[in-house]
């Protein structure tokens, strides 16, 4: 396992990395969104007269004076309809206009002068009220021979637990607010926009502006966090691009933090009723999970949190259902480990409850139900070392010190508890193309449309190419986030390294071949007509070697390059998933009920780890977000107004430095050779899954209180 | 703050003279302009980031006369005659500041968007001299949110730069 410093470290610590909003083309004008202040209804009128007269104002676009945008061809976890094409208001904080002015201050202040009259209706804004009328999408039943229903199977166990677990809406709060800068040159447009995939932006823009994709160049090498929130394109982007075209000058629109809470999507609320039934020895005989998610009226995405119950533990009988409650709220979208994060909170809490009922150690119960095959499909796992994660984690963490009796360990004013949970996330490999260019300066440029949201993807490119070419990592130049490069995987679903990594290796090999061909065929080449090989960055023949940069320079060739495509994973007879185990210590203040996470160990089985340095940060980041999910995060919808009541960074709490203990991460690093020769699965979501349940289980161990409704705030512990 | 010393132009703009990273700057600005927006949009010093524009995240942290300040809560007119240091001014002669080096070596960031603010805070925290325990470092660095969750590595970086 290599440990390499982030290749983009120097530009990120000096402020030289250019994020979308950092671009400043000449003649730039500033856009500022207008947003709705009711959650449902129709806009009757927008009075822009005063704003139009305000200093510096260039244009104001509203549904009554729109920029024409066509409907999107498909939904990518975002909104179905482009902004300001009609007067419908579907949620509070919806983009209903764009003010463009000479400066940011002028645009913002003019926006405040626009008054909007709406015919408002009462919104559907309570998930709880909507639960009885939730609409089902599908049900999966896997029943043993002779068993007629999941409830019959549940009755057959010796011990059964049933409980309902609920999670609030959450939001990503990536530190970089969404921003778009667009400028046109003739009928070509260059767009800098915060995105998890420049190709997605090209697709959406070409649909909504009804233009050939070839006319868009989207460039965005640095992304200030995404977590799912920068997957689809949101309303400010087409508005900014269209305004720049209409006005004939560059426009920059940066969402305010308050707008980020509503204009782009959030993680839906969920409720899961879980029943587990086991034999005395802990063997699960039935698992039932009825899961419900909220869903915005503006789009189709909702979580399917119960699904995880089909994939994690062996049981002869499984049942999962998925329903959704439609609300008049901003778009519901993917957020780190969509479905599985919330799904694991319920399932892993339920396992802990079952362990308590059985009088079994929670690790032993999980070991007992560890399965070499996918529980629902019966396909063998490609490479699963979950049992080793438990063993190694228990050892590193000191799990044996856990008292089986809750509420019995104290340290001064603090009740101390230990908890654990399984981590997991699905894995796969898609198709990706990558270009490798060997340059006469001895550097290798690796390019593709992939994105590095902070994941370390660009450093992974550098490491893989360097190893393949036998050159130092520092001589590889990764170029990500440019739509003009070959189509690689967008950043999402923990699929970047598993998909792009093999393509980087193939492209490096192809570039080596191209260089060898040049060396033997170029008339001026010292290797002309000879048998040559390429190793350690050199073209070699017999005892002679020449670094590729030197060879290219001597031939007057600036570069040789090759593009290679790595195909989708063809394997159909195995199931693929990453696994891990979380162990944590929580202290709860006996007087105030304040919960603090004080220790953490996580052991990861995610296939080959290409770069331990950045991989560790990915897992830590997932755990930190899980601690937020467990203890802090709660995007509150006001039931009367449909407004998010805490849409600021001061009110929507995320973990701060003082909330986070040291986090120990260990990688097992077994290559998953059925997935690819590289053997890497994915790690972006894995650390997040199970983390909240581990905290909840530790809280129970500390206090004897089982909190089934996130977040676990101190009022619930008093 | 003495605003009377500043000339108010007829068009409602104000003139501000201050130093940024050692360079004298003179700007005519809309009086509503924050130091953050002046740095980013007027001086094209975009290393300083806007995460919230409300004093809630720390991404915009810079030094004014050596003290850490949230540039989004500071009108540029308030830094008349003062010395501002941003992330771009930390490295000397292409030599990274020890805190910058420590952030790279400890992997004290992921996306890097909070990083300029984290580093400016860390430099000041070390100068303030009370970051002697891990708990103190965590507390002193808690005005800077990192949604990527690089906190443990940030603590390590501050410790490494301290020694
Ligand atoms: S941008 Fe200044 S504190 Fe967030
Ligand atoms: S590194 Fe991404 S927010 Fe801190």
- The residues of A that are catalytic are 685
CA distance A687 to A628: 13
Mutation for testing the B interface, residue in A10, A15, A648 having most B CBs under 10 Å: A15
- Please tell me the total count of domains within chain B: 2
Whether residue B80 lies inside any domain: the answer is yes
Residues in chain B with CB shorter than 8 Å from the CB of A105 are: 30, 32-33, 37
Read off the pLDDT band of B93 (50, 70, 90). Answer: confident
Instruction: Residue window 653-712, chain A: list those with CB within 8 Å of chain B.
Output: 654-663
- Please state, in angstroms and rounded to a whole number, the distance separating the CA atoms of residues B123 and B62: 10
For the structural domain made of A432-566, what CATH number should be given? 3.30.365.10
Which residues in chain B have Cβ-Cβ distances shorter than 8 Å to A662?
A: 152, 155
Q: Residue length, chain B?
A: 163
**SS3 sequence, A630-679?**
HHCCCECECCCCCCECCCCCCCCCCCCHHHCCCEEEEECCCCCCCCCCCC
Plot region of A542 (φ>0 → left; ψ -120 to 50 → alpha; else → beta): left
Q: Looking at the predicted structure, is the pLDDT value of residue B134 above 90?
A: yes
Ligand 1, residues at Cβ distance < 6 Å:
B 50-53, 55-60, 70, 72
Same domain? For B80 and B104 the reply is no
Tell me which chain A residues have a C-beta less than 8 angstroms from the C-beta of B153.
617, 620
C-alpha pair distances (Å), A152 with each of A85, A309, A316, A499: 53, 18, 12, 43
Preferred mutation among B51, B147, B150, B153 to probe A, highest tally of A CBs within 10 A: B147
A105 touches chain B (CB under 8 A): yes
Tell me the C-alpha distance between A382 and B153, whole Å: 33
- Report which of A209, A211, A236 is spatially closest to residue A70, judged by C-alpha positions: A209
User: Which residues 565-624 in chain A show a CB within 8 A of chain B?
Assistant: 613-614, 616-618, 620-624
The rounded distance, in Å, linking the Cα atoms of A11 and B104 is 10
- Please work out, in degrees rounded to the nearest 5, the angle formed at the alpha carbon of residue A636 by the alpha carbons of A630 and A640: 155
Parts of chain A with a pLDDT under 70 = none
d(CA B18, CA B24): 6
B29, B55, B89 - which closes a domain: B89
Task: Please answer yes or no on whether B151 and A657 come within 8 Å at the CB atom.
Answer: yes
Same domain for B69 and B108: no
What is the model's pLDDT at position A694?
99
Of all protein residues, the one whose alpha carbon is nearest to atom 3 of ligand 1 is: B55
Nearest CA residue ID for atom 3, ligand 2: B146
Per-residue pLDDT of A391-403, as tens digits, reads 999 999 999 999 9
Phi and psi at B140, nearest 5°, equal -70, -25
Which protein residue's CA is at the shortest distance from atom 4 of ligand 2?
B146
What residue segments make up the domains of chain A, in order of their start? Answer: 9-13+28-121+175-225+230-263, 270-428+572-716, 432-566
From the list A103, A175, A648, the residue facing B114 with the nearest CB is A175
- Residues of chain B in contact with residue A55, where contact means CB-CB under 8 angstroms, are 12
Is residue B149 less than 8 Å (CB to CB) from chain A? yes
CA nearest neighbour of A428 among A560, A564, A574: A574
Question: Residue B147 maps to which CATH number?
Answer: 1.10.150.120
Contacts of A617 in chain B (CB under 8 A): 107, 110, 148, 150, 153
How far is the centre of ligand 1, averaged over its atoms, from the C-alpha of B143 (Å)?
10
Shortest alpha-carbon distance between residue B5 and chain A (Å): 24
How far is residue A271's CA from residue A306's CA, in Å, rounded to a whole number? 9
Between the CA of A223 and the centroid of ligand 2 the distance, in Å, is 10
| Residue in the structure block whose two tokens are 């410093």 | A5
**Distance between A338 CA and the closest CA of chain B, angstroms:** 17
Q: What integer pLDDT is reported at residue B6 of this predicted model? A: 45
Q: Which residue, among A341, A343, A359, A344, has the nearest Cα to A278 in the 3D structure?
A: A359
**Ligand 1 centre distance from Cα of residue A410 (Å):** 39
Query: Could you tell me which chain B residue has the CA closest to the CA of A654?
Result: B147
CB atoms A14 and B54 under 8 Å: no
Residue A462 is predicted with a pLDDT of 98
Coil, strand or helix at A162: strand
Output the CA B148–ligand 1 centroid distance in Å. 16
Q: Which of B30, B50, B57 sits opposite A103 (nearest CB)?
A: B30
Q: Would you say residue B2 lies in a domain?
A: no
A686 CB-side CA count, 13 A = 31
Which residue in B34, B41, B149 has the most chain A C-beta atoms within 10 A of its own C-beta, making it the best mutation to test that interface? Answer: B149
Among candidate residues B89, B121, B146, the one where a domain is terminated:
B89
Rounded Cα gap, residues A176 and B59, in angstroms: 9
Distance between CA atoms of residues A113 and A109, nearest Å: 7
What is the assigned CATH class of domain A270-428+572-716? alpha beta
pLDDT at position B94 is 84
Hey, are the CB atoms on A175 and B33 less than 8 Å from each other? no
With CA atoms as reference, the chain B residue closest to A254 would be B50
Q: Based on the domain organization, do B82 and B15 belong to the same domain?
A: yes
The per-residue pLDDT of chain B, averaged, comes to: 94
DSSP letters of A243-281? HHHHHTS-EEEE--HHHHHHHS-BBPPEEEEEEEEE-TT
pLDDT of residue A74: 84
Shortest Cα–Cα distance, B132 to chain A (Å): 15
Rounded to 5 degrees, what are φ and ψ at A596? -130, 135
Quick check: A14 and B91 CB within 8 A? yes
Output the pLDDT for position A102.
Answer: 97
**Chosen domain end from B39, B70, B89:** B89
Name residue, tokens 């006369």.
Answer: B65
**Class (C level, CATH) for A9-13+28-121+175-225+230-263:** alpha beta
Cβ–ligand 2 contact at B111 (below 6 Å):
yes
How many angstroms does the Cα of residue B70 sit away from the middle of ligand 1? 6
pLDDT exceeds cutoff 90 at B9: no
pLDDT tens-digit readout, B55-70: 999 999 999 999 999 9
pLDDT of B16 = 97
Q: A432-566: same fold as A270-428+572-716?
A: yes
pLDDT-based confidence at residue B121 (cuts at 50, 70, 90): very high
Mark whether B107 and B83 lie in a shared domain. Answer: no
Beta strands in chain B (DSSP E): 14-20, 23-29, 61-64, 67-70, 83-85
Out of B50, B58, B103, B148, give the residue to mutate to test ligand 2, the one with the largest number of ligand atoms within 8 Å of its CB. B148
Residue B25 is predicted with a pLDDT of 98
Q: How far is the CA of A258 from the centre of ligand 1 (A)?
A: 13
Cβ of B54 within 8 Å of Cβ of A648? The answer is yes
Q: Do both B17 and B42 map to the same domain? A: yes
- Would the CB atoms of A176 and B103 count as touching at under 8 Å? no
Neighboring chain B residues of A54 at a CB cutoff of 8 Å = none
Whether residue B106 sits in one domain with residue B53: no
Task: Count the Cβ atoms, other than its own, within 10 Å of residue A672.
Answer: 25
Chain A's closest residue to B100, CA to CA, is: A13
Nearest residue to A682 via CA among A579, A582, A583: A579
CB A631 within 8 A of CB A355: no
Ligand 2 binding pocket mutation candidate from B50, B59, B107, B114 (most atoms within 8 A of CB): B114
Q: Of A17, A257, A455, which has the smallest distance from its Cβ to B51's Cβ?
A: A257
Q: How far apart are CA B117 and CA B90, in angstroms?
A: 12
pLDDT tens-digit series, residues A696-706: 999 999 999 99
Kindly state the helix (H) or strand (E) to which residue A627 belongs, with its residue range: helix A612-631
pLDDT of residue B163: 87
The structure's pTM equals 0.97
Banded pLDDT at B1 (limits 50, 70, 90): very low
Instruction: Give me the domain span that covers residue B154.
Output: 98-162
Q: What is the residue whose two structure tokens read 């990518």?
A: A76
**Residues B110, A173: C-beta atoms closer than 8 Å:** no
Q: Do B46 and A15 touch (CB under 8 A)?
A: yes
């Amino acid at each position: 396992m290599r440990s390499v410093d982030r290749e983009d470290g120097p530009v990120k610590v000096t402020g030289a990395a250019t994020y979308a909003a950092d671009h400043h083309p000449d003649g730039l004008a500033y856009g500022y969104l207008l947003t709705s202040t009711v959650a449902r209804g129709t806009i009757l009128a927008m009075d822009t007269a005063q704003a139009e007269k305000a200093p510096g104002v260039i244009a104001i676009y509203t549904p009554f004076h729109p920029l024409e945008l066509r409907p999107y061809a498909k939904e990518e976890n975002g909104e179905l309809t482009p902004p300001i094409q009609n007067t419908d208001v579907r949620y509070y904080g919806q983009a209903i206009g764009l003010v463009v002015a000479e400066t940011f201050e002028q645009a913002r202040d003019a926006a405040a002068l626009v008054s909007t009259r709406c015919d408002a209706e009462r919104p559907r804004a309570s998930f709880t009220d909507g639960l009885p009328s939730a609409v089902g999408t599908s049900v999966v039943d896997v029943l043993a021979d002779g068993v007629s229903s999941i409830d019959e199977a549940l009755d057959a166990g010796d011990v059964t637990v049933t409980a309902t677990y609920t999670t609030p809406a959450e939001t990503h709060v990536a530190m970089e607010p969404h921003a778009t800068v667009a400028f046109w040159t003739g009928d070509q447009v260059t767009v800098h926009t915060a995105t998890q995939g420049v190709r997605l932006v090209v697709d959406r823009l070409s649909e909504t502006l009804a233009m050939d994709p070839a006319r868009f160049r989207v460039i965005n090498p640095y992304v200030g966090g995404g977590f799912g929130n920068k997957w689809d394109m949101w309303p400010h982007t087409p508005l900014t691009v269209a305004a720049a075209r209409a006005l004939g000058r560059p426009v920059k629109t940066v969402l305010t933090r308050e707008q980020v809470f509503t204009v782009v999507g959030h993680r839906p609320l969920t409720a899961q009723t879980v029943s587990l039934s086991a034999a005395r020895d802990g063997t699960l005989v039935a698992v039932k999970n009825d899961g419900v998610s909220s869903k915005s009226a503006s789009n189709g995405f909702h979580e399917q949190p119960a699904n995880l119950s089909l994939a994690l533990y062996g049981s002869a009988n499984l049942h999962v259902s998925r329903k959704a409650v439609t609300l008049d709220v901003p778009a519901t979208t993917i957020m780190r480990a969509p479905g599985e994060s919330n799904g694991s909170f319920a399932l892993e809490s339920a396992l802990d409850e079952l362990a308590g009922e059985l009088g079994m150690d929670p690790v032993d119960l999980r070991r007992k139900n560890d399965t070499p095959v996918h529980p629902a499909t019966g396909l063998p796992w490609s490479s699963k070392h979950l049992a080793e994660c438990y063993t190694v984690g228990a050892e590193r963490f000191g799990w044996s010190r856990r008292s089986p009796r809750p509420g019995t360990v104290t340290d001064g004013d603090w009740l101390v508890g230990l908890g654990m949970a399984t981590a997991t996330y699905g894995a796969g490999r898609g198709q990706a193309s990558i270009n490798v260019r060997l340059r006469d300066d001895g550097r290798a440029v690796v390019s593709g449309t992939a994105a590095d949201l902070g994941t370390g993807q660009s450093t992974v490119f550098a490491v893989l190419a360097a190893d393949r070419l036998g050159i130092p990592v520092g001589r590889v130049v990764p170029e990500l986030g440019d739509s003009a490069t070959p189509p690689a995987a967008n950043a999402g679903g923990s699929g970047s390294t598993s998909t792009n990594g093999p393509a980087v290796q193939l492209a490096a090999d192809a570039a080596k071949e191209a260089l060898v061909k040049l060396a033997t065929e170029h008339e001026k080449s010292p290797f002309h007509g000879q048998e040559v090989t390429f190793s350690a960055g050199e073209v070699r023949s017999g005892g002679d070697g020449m670094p590729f940069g030197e060879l290219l320079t001597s031939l007057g060739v600036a570069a040789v390059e090759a593009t290679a495509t790595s195909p989708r994973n063809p394997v159909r007879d195995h199931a693929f998933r990453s696994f891990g185990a979380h162990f944590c210590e929580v202290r709860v203040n006996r007087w105030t009920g304040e919960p603090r996470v004080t220790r953490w160990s996580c052991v990861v089985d995610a296939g080959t780890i290409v770069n331990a340095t950045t991989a560790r940060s990915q897992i830590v980041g997932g755990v930190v977000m899980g601690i937020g999910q467990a203890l802090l995060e709660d995007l509150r919808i006001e039931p009367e107004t449909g407004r998010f009541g805490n849409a600021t960074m001061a009110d929507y709490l995320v973990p701060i430095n003082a909330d986070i203990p040291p986090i120990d991460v260990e990688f097992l690093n077994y290559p998953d050779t059925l997935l690819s020769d590289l053997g890497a699965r994915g790690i972006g979501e894995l650390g997040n899954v199970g983390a909240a349940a581990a905290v909840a289980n530790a809280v129970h161990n500390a206090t004897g209180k089982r909190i089934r409704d996130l977040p676990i705030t101190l009022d619930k512990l008093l | 703050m003495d605003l009377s010393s500043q000339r108010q132009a007829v068009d409602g703009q104000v003139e501000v003279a201050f130093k940024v990273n050692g360079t004298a700057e003179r700007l005519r600005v809309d009086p509503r302009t924050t130091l953050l927006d002046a740095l980013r949009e007027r001086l094209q010093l975009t290393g300083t980031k806007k995460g919230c524009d409300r004093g809630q995240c720390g991404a915009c942290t810079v030094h004014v006369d050596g003290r850490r300040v949230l540039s989004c809560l500071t009108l540029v007119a308030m830094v008349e005659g003062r010395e501002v240091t941003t992330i771009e001014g930390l490295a000397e002669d292409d030599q990274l500041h020890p805190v910058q080096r420590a952030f790279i070596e400890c992997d004290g960031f992921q996306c890097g968007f909070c990083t300029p603010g984290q580093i400016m805070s860390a430099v000041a925290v070390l100068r303030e001299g009370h970051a002697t325990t891990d708990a103190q470092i965590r507390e002193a660095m808690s005005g800077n949110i990192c949604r990527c969750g690089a906190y443990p590595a940030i603590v390590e970086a501050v410790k490494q730069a301290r020694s």
